[in-house]
Structure 1
Amino acid sequence: MNLSLTPGRSSSRETAPLPAPRLAMGVVTAVFASISLIGFLHVMLLPVNPVAIALSFACIAALMAMQLLWYGRDNGRLRTPLGYGVLATQVALVYLPILAFGQAWVGMPGFLAGSVLLVLRAVTAWVTFSLIVASMAVAQWIFTRAPIDMLYTSISTVTTGLVVYGLSRLTALVVEVQESRAEIARMAVLRERLRFARDLHDLLGYSLSAISLKIELVHRLMEKSPQEASDQLLEILEISRVALSDARTVASGYRELSLEEECRSAVSVLSAADIQVRLDSDHLDLPVQVSTVLATVLREGVTNILRHSKAKHCDITIRQTHDDAWIEIVNDDLAVGPPRDPGSGRNGLRNLSVRAQEIGGSLTVDHQPDLFRLRAKVPLRLERHQASRSQPAGLPGDPDGVDAVPRGKLVDDGGQIVADGTD
């Protein structure tokens, strides 16, 4: 296969912007280098020998290195003994050369003024900052005895100090923002994985359980009632098609379910499992999101009956009031095998709790020795909860585009948290 670029379009490598931390560091380096160059040019104008010039260059280079490599990175060590040692070294580098270069060096303490704002505590930092500015004004007075020069040096030191402080903080903040964006991206990926796993369980678990049950039924009917077995095979084909459609929608996001269709399917599947079903449904047209949540609860409830019990009777009740709608599934709970470990997690019920909470509803479980009751209640007015709707990560919800992943709790009628069993 031959790959070529379309003429007139540049590759992503040519058009991609520089990473933010690198760009910020470039801007800071350019500004600090300009300030340092001004100080070095002042020294060059003095009648000094090459050794003095080399010494001034070394001092300026050391100040630049400290500012970029130490203060330009929020490494958490600025207020440690090592950090105070670096600050003391900077004090020596900005004050001692004044003895050799005089007025030409009075602009360099601006680096120190910015550094004390980064290292020292608030009140101490600003007091020290003021003392540095005052010391440069005094030094300028000693050199020229001109009030205008004192004012100029004071303003220059204040400006340089604030610029150094602001740009040093800018670099650290840009790095923090970059790291936060990476963390948000990781959270988005995790949320999408959770959504995928939850939808895969909720949408396909029921279909696969129904297919398995009906295949067993067909196997028993093959010789006794071929026509009934043929009818069951047609239902298996229809369920398989629905499962295929569900599998395709899992990758794309939220799927809407029809409560009426799920009711008919539940009655059919439970009847095929020799379970007596009583369906009492009394509701008007429900909002799509409410209908989907109730249909999902019905699916999971029927799936749990088929997987985890040998129930003989099941009552399904659906009601709608002025403010909310609810579904209740009750079956005689004849558990399969030994009792479940109460410390293990039932993913299906936890998923249902999350779905109900996303639209402001609730899920309750009442588990007695011979009875299992699953009840979900959701509000009809969803305006306040629309932003929490289950959807692929990255779609608008929270301002950062990544909704928090709620953790559901199952509670019984007495308000106690119910331990889940494994699905």
Structure 2
Amino acid sequence: MPDGAGNHPPRHHDDLAPRLAVVITVIVLVGYFSVAVTYVVDGNRSGGTIDAAMLALALLPMTVLLCLQMLHSFPGLAPRLSRARHWTLALQAVLTFAPFAIFKHAWLGMPGFLAGSSLLVLVPALAWPAFAAILLCTDVLLFQVGFGWGQVAYTSVSTALTGLVVFGLSRLSGLVAEVSRSRAELARLAVAQERLRFSRDVHDLLGYSLSTITLKCELVHRLVPRQNSRAQQELSEILQTSRQALADVRAVASGYRKMSLSAEAATARSMLAAAGISATAEIDCAPLPELVDTVLASVLREGLTNVLRHSKADHCAFEARRSGHRVWLTLVNDGVGRPSTILRADSTDGGSGIGNLRVRVENLGGRLRAGVRSDGWFELRAELDVSVAAPRRSGRERGSEEEYGPGPTVTA
């Protein structure tokens, strides 16, 4: 299997739903703006003809308002400008209310978009009061241009509905994109976990068996009488084949098991964000030896899997720090006692992920602790010595070149 196999599944099906949500939202927004343009056209008719100058004057701010609305509905269109969304909201407010002085009731289609943008840009504590204030200001302006109570009530309801539709569709398209990203990350995580499981099986079972065959062949090779040349030849070929098979298995297992803590941390941030979990991360441990880096990355991945599978966490934090020859990784979350709604845990099997990790950490001279802290948060902590060049030998984990050393040699 290629090294990158399973990491990049086809994306066109995954992207279809978010793209469709964006297209629908854009069509609705453009449709609402088109209705607003008809208000301006009707308001500038004089004797059956349209005042072209006034229409051109209206289209300029309306185009700017449409661009601002797209920016607020889809922050990813211009990430740099999205950092100044409060200023763009203020500009939208000015372009929404100032033209009333010129176009009067013909401009009544614009406040609804401002109301929707206020819900998208401002925090909830300010968004809903701003929404109500926009409706109130619109009502005052409509009274100023001569509308009666009935017309004002109708326009207020229309403005409120426009704002809610704009807000709802914009948020819905964002949620569809987040769900799509979350599904892609969950799929990638599932593939990575399966690859890691396969690597452990190859490493622990087949590698050990092939090593045993190699050692047995070497022993028999030495015990066979020297004059039995045919037996010596056959055993030599068997021994060579087993050595080659062992080397191939070691290469496969090693290729699957190499991981990076920094890369896994970046994936963890993205995964937690997609799952709606507030994440805090600090990775400050400088470059690590390959074995230590792989084990810590495995600890982080297994801890993240447990957070998603066994708890409903709102907050999660992980950090990796280094002091001298010691490095430690800590992963904490506040989801103790609340079942997950993201991944369904297998009720028939408690799993052995933490147990496998504890063995791997201890083989490198470290220690792994997992449990609930006094403040109610669950903590997973791994400590390792970065000066360890090779793991201890263990009967439970065998099969890699680092753990065995060179294959046996035979002299005829």
TM-score, with length taken from structure 2: 0.53
d(CA) in 2 for partners of 1:42 and 1:198? 68
Tell me which residue corresponds to 1:112: 114
2:357 corresponds, among 395, 403, 407, to 407
Alignment of 1:284-295 (within 5 A): none
d(CA) in 2 for partners of 1:18 and 1:67? 23
- The code of the aligned residue for 2:357 comes to R
- The code of the aligned residue for 2:27 comes to A
2:100 corresponds, among 89, 95, 98, to 98
Tell me which residue corresponds to 1:190: 192
d(CA) in 1 for partners of 2:367 and 2:146? 82
Does residue 383 of structure 2 align to residue 386 of structure 1? Answer: no
- The code of the aligned residue for 2:358 comes to G
Alignment of 1:127-166 (within 5 A): 127-166=129-168
Task: From the superposition, tell whether residues 406 and 147 of structure 1 become closer, same or farther in structure 2 (CA, over 3 Å).
Answer: farther
d(CA) in 2 for partners of 1:166 and 1:42? 24
Structure having greater relative contact order (Cα 8 Å, sep ≥ 6): 2
- Give, in angstroms, the shift of residue 117 of structure 1: 1.3
Q: Matched residue of 1:386: which SS?
A: coil
d(CA) in 2 for partners of 1:118 and 1:112? 10
Tell me which residue corresponds to 2:397: none
Tell me which residue corresponds to 1:208: 210
d(CA) in 1 for partners of 2:107 and 2:19? 30
Tell me which residue corresponds to 2:52: 50
Q: Percent identity?
A: 40
- The code of the aligned residue for 1:136 comes to T
1:170 corresponds, among 166, 169, 172, to 172
The superposition leaves residues 105-150 of structure 1 with CA deviations (integer Å, 9 ceiling, x where unpaired) of: 1121111111111222222221111111011112222223411111
Contact 1:113 1:132 survives alignment (8 Å): yes
Q: Matched residue of 2:349: which SS?
A: helix
d(CA) in 2 for partners of 1:58 and 1:16? 39
d(CA) in 1 for partners of 2:355 and 2:150? 63
Alignment of 1:266-285 (within 5 A): none
Does residue 86 of structure 2 align to residue 84 of structure 1? Answer: yes
The superposition leaves residues 327-358 of structure 1 with CA deviations (integer Å, 9 ceiling, x where unpaired) of: xxxxxxxxxxxxxxxx977x99xx9xxxxxx9
Contact 1:118 1:165 survives alignment (8 Å): yes
Q: Which runs of 5+ in 1 are unaligned?
A: 1-12, 252-342, 352-357, 359-382, 391-403
Larger Cα-atom Rg? 1
Q: Matched residue of 1:170: which SS?
A: helix
Q: Matched residue of 1:223: which SS?
A: coil
Q: Which runs of 5+ in 2 are unaligned?
A: 1-9, 254-289, 299-305, 307-345, 369-383, 386-390, 393-401, 404-412
Tell me which residue corresponds to 1:63: 65
- Give, in angstroms, the shift of residue 70 of structure 1: 4.0
The superposition leaves residues 37-94 of structure 1 with CA deviations (integer Å, 9 ceiling, x where unpaired) of: 11111111122521211222222222222222343225777884x2222112101221
Contact 1:73 1:171 survives alignment (8 Å): no
Q: Matched residue of 2:209: which SS?
A: helix
Q: Matched residue of 1:203: which SS?
A: helix
Task: From the superposition, tell whether residues 17 and 215 of structure 1 become closer, same or farther in structure 2 (CA, over 3 Å).
Answer: closer
d(CA) in 2 for partners of 1:171 and 1:64? 18
d(CA) in 2 for partners of 1:154 and 1:98? 16
Contact 1:116 1:125 survives alignment (8 Å): yes
d(CA) in 2 for partners of 1:218 and 1:23? 68
d(CA) in 2 for partners of 1:27 and 1:133? 26
- The code of the aligned residue for 1:25 comes to V
d(CA) in 2 for partners of 1:405 and 1:147? 72
Contact 1:67 1:168 survives alignment (8 Å): no
